[in-house]
Structure 1
Amino acid sequence: MCYFSFFRKSVCILCLVAILSCQKRPEQQDNKELNPTIETVAQKKVSIDSIKKKLVKDGFQVFDYVDEESGDTILMQQYFIAFLKRGPNRSQNKKEADSLQKLHLEHLGKMYKEGYADISGPFGEDGDIRGITIYNTPTQQIADSLANLDPMVTSGRLTIEIHPWWAAKGFSLR
Structure 2
Amino acid sequence: MKTLYSILFLCIVGISLSACQETPHKREYNQELALKLKADQYGMSQYVMAFLKRGPNRNQDSITAAQLQKAHLKNIMKMAEEGTLVLAGPFMDDGDIRGIYIFNVESLEEARRLTESDPAVKAGRLIMELHPWYGSAAVKEVNAIHNQLTKKSIAE
TM-score norm. by structure 2 comes to: 0.66
Match of 1:45 in 2: 31
**Distance (whole Å) between structure 2 residues aligned to residue 47 and residue 136 of structure 1:** 16
Distance 1:141 1:91, change over 3 A: same
CA distance in 1, matches of 2:87, 2:33: 24
Q: How is 1:1-174 mapped onto 2 (pairs within 5 angstroms)?
A: 44-45=30-31, 48=34, 50-51=35-36, 55=38, 63-64=40-41, 74-170=42-138
Higher relative contact order (CA 8 A, sep 6+): 2
Matched residues, percent identical?
Answer: 41
When Rg is computed on C-alpha atoms for both structures, the one with the higher figure is 1
What is the CA–CA distance in structure 2 between the aligned matches of 1:46 and 1:118, rounded to whole Å?
20
Distance 2:110 2:43 in 1: 22
SS in 2 for 1:78: strand
Aligned residues: 114
Report the AA paired with residue 142 of structure 1. Answer: E
**How far does residue 97 in structure 1 lie from its aligned partner after superposition?**
0.2
Q: Alpha carbons of 1:147 and 1:46: their partners in 2 closer, same or farther (altered >3 Å)?
A: same
Residue 125 of structure 1 aligns with an amino acid whose one-letter code is D
SS in 1 for 2:138: coil
Change (3 A) 1:90 1:63: same
Unpaired segments ≥5 residues, structure 2: 1-27, 143-156
C-alpha RMSD of the superposition? 2.2
Structure 1 runs (4+) deviating above 6 angstroms are: none
Q: TM-score scaled by structure 1?
A: 0.59
Task: Give the unaligned 5+ runs of structure 1.
Answer: 1-39, 56-61, 65-73
